[in-house]
Amino acid sequence: MSPPAAATISVRTTLAMLDGDKREIANGVANDQYVFWLGSGISREKMPDLGDIAKNVLVTLQARVDAGDADCRFRKALNAVLVLAGPSADEWGRIDLDAVPSGWADFDALAARLVNNYARMLNVAVEGEHPDYLLWDILGAAHVYADPAIEPDAEHICLAALAIEGVASDMPTANWDTLIERAITKLAGTQPVLRVVVAPGEVRWNRRRANLYKFHGCAQRALDNEAQFRDLLIARSSQINGWVAQNPVIAAELIHFIVTRPTLMLGLSAQDSNIQGLFAAAQTTMAWPWPSHPPAYAFSENALGADQEGLLQNVYHGDYNVGNRPFMEAEALVQAYAKPLLLALFLHVVTAKLKSLVELGVPGLADVDRDKLHEGLEQARNGVADSVVPDATIVTELIEHCGRAMTMLRSGDLPDPANGIYAPLTAEPLHRMPADMTLPGSGLCQFAVANGLIGLGLARGHWTAAKADVSDPMSGAIVISGRSGPAKIYFAANAQAAIRLGTNGLIADNDDAVIIHSHVIPAPMPRYPRRAPGRTGLAPTRETSIEDLLAGGTEVEDLLSRFRSQVAL
């Protein structure tokens, strides 16, 4: 059977979808309108499969059975788990509770059936033990889900980047693992970017740029403080069914999100009764009208399941009828799983911010010229999309390249490991950028114009682009190859950054390089180390000022011509 379309969709095709009929959702994310509801699907390739968990329960319980004791408490528990798998009479006849389950003829089939009953399975009690014995002792779940050897996947890295860009400010999750926390530490180092809420009292902590609500508990917290956090690991059916009533503080916080902000579900089936209860309670508080702009609900799925369709019925309430239902469901379905969708959203958000910076930096720009620079930014974005796949290693490399370029732009230096590998374009979502009074003088607006011009050059075949070598400090931000050959491209937001590129040893006087200054070019000074002679015929290091270019006119065709002349590529 071929894999679902949502799993095989390319990043470029996902971007085309976000540029097309899912544009409102993409723009909603760029404006930090969506709450990201995260489920086990985003950690599926890093954490145990539910089928394997079911097998582990069967095998470990059976290993503790006392074969000589017909009344053995582990035998009783094992039998109770098997009942949940619904064996036929023939299957019961082939089960030997005194034999290792992996040898049972129907072992795989029984485990597969337990997947849909995992909460009931974990609710099975063992006489004389804590109610969560299967979870805590049999499975060792806290150690498994907090395993420090497990690295974040592509989804977690992209979520971390979106959070640092200020467009994923609230992320409720049913996951116990700490992969999002690790991803943000990887990207932001020790910077205070993330607040993690697990216990009710933690909702009083100061909000941060990103806020993760682990409403089913946290494996690491449970290991670090078993007395407080062990019972907050939610897995058993009795816990799930009573969760809303027993957790009024966290429940109220989540209901507030559902009522006030659109929902984007990633890797979350919404089948747990407590999640359904939250959305039903939100509907009674204030239902969403349909249509809403942006759409009030979006699901990263291959197709909507019964639970998601039921959720739409609850939250749209009176507007959910025979006539509207097909349109509601088509609008809500984003047919790309979290891996390609989150990477495409990251590229969309960064490009949307660059477009906004163009408009902020050149307020009198004619519409036709603005559109050409936007086209150039999209061309550069699409080139990146064509060169990447949503793999953890590749996504991390992309994020590292972005962070390296932004750090050199701002300070003429390489990233400080204490601050992580990523530096955001801005820490604010799109709609708040015009109110940031630091942006016009930051050099970012001119940086955006420069990228638009480079993108136009790519579109028109004037040059090609390649990534820099992050292992080489002197490799620039990107490499552009034109008729005169390849040149390393550096960006400098201010005179200090430009000078520090040389004093920090990131560029040599006789490098084939171009420094693109946001503002005026600083006076020449002996600031760069020298390399052994390379190819000759061009001024080894060329410099251009976007501010000066714009002062000479903002008609983009002329601007591009003058830019090409100065960079001599």
pLDDT, one tens digit for every residue, the chain (569 residues): 678 899 999 999 999 999 999 999 999 999 999 999 999 999 999 999 999 999 999 999 999 999 989 899 999 999 999 999 999 999 999 999 999 999 999 999 999 999 989 999 999 999 999 999 999 999 999 999 999 999 999 999 999 999 999 999 999 999 999 999 999 999 999 999 999 999 999 999 999 999 999 999 999 999 999 999 999 999 999 999 999 999 999 999 999 999 999 999 999 988 889 999 999 898 888 889 999 999 999 999 999 998 899 889 888 888 888 999 999 999 999 999 999 999 999 999 999 999 999 999 998 899 999 999 999 999 999 999 999 999 999 999 999 999 999 999 999 999 998 999 999 999 999 999 999 999 999 999 999 999 999 999 999 999 999 999 999 999 999 999 999 899 999 999 999 999 999 999 999 876 789 999 999 998 865 555 555 555 444 557 899 999 999 999 999 999 999 999 999 88
As a three-state string, the secondary structure of 117-128 is CHHHHHCCCCCC
Reading the block at residue 324, the tokens are 């509207």
Residue finishing a domain among 104, 119, 145: 145
C-alpha–C-alpha distance, residues 567 and 569, integer Å = 6
Helix axis angle, 367-387 to 556-567, nearest 10°: 50
Residue 4 lies in a domain: no
Token duo for residue 143: 């150690």
User: Cα(235)–Cα(173) distance, rounded to whole angstroms?
Assistant: 13
Domain count, the chain: 3
Give SS3 for 151.
coil
Say yes or no: 295 and 323 in one domain.
yes
Residue 6 domain-assigned?
A: no
Instruction: Put residue 524 in one of left, alpha, beta given phi > 0 → left and psi -120 to 50 → alpha.
Output: beta
Same domain membership, residue 330 and residue 354: no
Q: Is residue 164 part of a domain?
A: yes
String of b and e for 528-546 (b: at least 16 CB within 10 Å)?
Answer: beeeeeeeeeeebbbbbbb
pLDDT given at position 531: 54
**Single-letter residue type at 346:** F
The dihedrals phi and psi of 542, each to the nearest 5 degrees, come to: -100, 150
Same domain (yes/no): 110, 155: no
Q: Residues 362, 364, 366, CA angle at the centre, nearest 5°?
A: 105
Q: Residue 3: its pLDDT value, please?
A: 82
Of 318, 336, 354, the domain-final residue? 336
DSSP letter at 230? G
Contact status, residue 170 vs residue 197, Cβ threshold 8 Å = no
Residues 247 and 349 in one domain: no
Give the CATH number of the domain where residue 192 resides.
3.40.50
Q: How far apart are CA 340 and CA 11, in angstroms?
A: 5
Q: Same domain for 306 and 416?
A: no
Q: What's the CA gap between 207 and 271, in Å, rounded? A: 29
Same domain, 286 and 382: no
17 in any annotated domain: no
pTM for this prediction:
0.95
Residues 300 and 426 in one domain: no
Q: Are residues 80 and 176 in the same domain?
A: no
Domain co-membership, 288 together with 391: no
The parent domain of residue 526 ranges over: 340-567
Determine contact, residues 416/186, Cβ cutoff 8 Å: no
Of 35, 29, 22, 10, nearest to 351 (Cα)? 29
Q: Which distant-in-sequence residues (6+ apart) come within 8 Å of 153 by Cβ?
A: 42, 43, 45, 46, 179, 339, 392
Torsion of CA 200, 206, 210, 214, to 10 degrees: -10
What is the torsion angle, in degrees rounded to the nearest 10, for the CA atoms of residue 31, residue 35, residue 37 and residue 38?
Answer: 50
Q: Is residue 301 part of a domain?
A: yes
Q: Tell me, what's the pLDDT at 536?
A: 46
- Asked which of 145, 167, 183 is the last residue of a domain, the reply is 145
CB-based contacts of 498, cutoff 8 Å, min separation 6: 412, 492, 515, 517, 521, 522
Residues 412 and 535 in one domain: yes
**Is the Cβ–Cβ distance between 409 and 477 less than 8 Å?**
yes
In a domain, 133, yes or no: yes
Are 404 and 286 part of one and the same domain? Answer: no
**What's the confidence (pLDDT) of residue 529?**
58
Closest Cα to residue 308, out of 262, 270, 264, 266?
Answer: 270
Instruction: Give the pLDDT score at 547.
Output: 97
